[in-house]
Structure 1
Amino acid sequence: MDDLYAVADFCLIPMGTGEPSVAEYIAECQRVLEKSGLQYKVPPIEGPWRAVSQAIHDCHAAVHAKGAPRIATDIRIGTRVDRALAPGTGNEGKVRRVEEILAKDGEGV
């Protein structure tokens, strides 16, 4: 089987920076995601499992290199094998379906 296609929603939290804002660290992670070639909206990122995992790893490495001594990251990854997903559409269909249901609710009122 080829690499699983993954949609990863992750929250990276730099800790121990001594700074009141972590915006610079998050911007560094954004730069890594831009270079990864993966489809993403903050969040999630989408692509082959290994590439998604590598991008999250690279964000950690870049934020540590920027000076954050600790990072806590929560990751939720979904995969599916029952149908192919076009790159960048992992959550798009889900969002569209919810919007369709809500639109029907409006029609009945």
Structure 2
Amino acid sequence: MSTRGLPDGTAHALDRLDRPELRPAAVAESLSRWRRIAAMPRSALADPHNDITEFVAPAVRDHLERAVRALGRRAARPLRATVDPLDRQFEAKTLNNPRLDPAAPWWARRWWH
């Protein structure tokens, strides 16, 4: 792991994409933020009208998903393996919002309630 927790192969593959929004440092920052969010206690994520659950987490997770999708399957595998357990942590601490568009990614349909 080189760029603040980002697997080396993933960082090199992101460099090769040459997309400013997917620079290794930017993706590493999102990964770091996703780790911090997933590690938050359920009580913090369940606060009513919680900006982290409703806005910050979906934006961070969207950025990670864009990185995963931009990479080839092989290059994305280490990043996906790092993100998946964090996803499970976040999902376990939040609830699905049945009022939101079911076509939206699962992390954009979580809420505090």
Greater fraction of residues in helix: 2
TM norm structure 2: 0.27
Q: Which has the higher contact order (CA 8 A, sep 6+)?
A: 1
Greater fraction of residues in strand: 1
TM norm structure 1: 0.28
